[in-house]
Amino acid sequence: MSRVSRLRMAKAAALLWGAVFVPSCLQAAERIAGPVEARVERVIDGDTLAVRAHIWLGQDVSVLVRIRGIDAPELHGRCAAERQQALAARGALAAAVEAGTVTLSAIEADKYGGRILADVASPEAGPLDHHLLGTGLARAYAGAARGGWCAGSDVGAADTAGSNPG
């Protein structure tokens, strides 16, 4: 069985588990309006940050945050061009959060465990989705199938061998 097939099966199993074992009312209630201030610990890729968010007096949490509304190329992409674009996207995001702080809002659980989905803004660049779309290093994403980043590709980024959608 190919790696892509195993990834598809794992995703299908995770979706089934979520549909069967997680009540929809619980999922709907899992949203924090924000704003929540956070310190950037590291830039994972062009659309994901590791942050330490200050959630209450004396209470911080470290979490991965996917920036809502964008899709950036994958670091483990299908072709050299995608991998180069991914490095450029990660560099652009790192420059946008150079001061080290961001504000999270409309925070909710992401489809991948251990990560959240949020609107993210930095003091320097403003809303990071708009900033990265403006650079041309990311494209709009609303949760549908994603196209590939390689020339002539119609393969979704989630189907990219060795990639972790994010």
Contacting residues for 27 by C-beta, under 8 A, at least 6 apart: 109
Q: pTM score, two decimals?
A: 0.72
pLDDT digits (tens, 9 = 90+) for 3-41: 545 545 555 444 434 443 444 434 444 789 989 999 999
Look at residue 164 in the predicted model and tell me its pLDDT: 41
CB count in 10 Å sphere of residue 49: 25
Look at residue 10 in the predicted model and tell me its pLDDT: 52
108 and 30 in contact (C-beta within 8 Å)?
A: yes
pLDDT digits (tens, 9 = 90+) for 110-148: 887 789 999 999 999 999 999 999 999 999 998 777 778
Percent of the chain residues past pLDDT 90, beyond the cut: 55
Pairing of strands 36-45, 115-122: unpaired
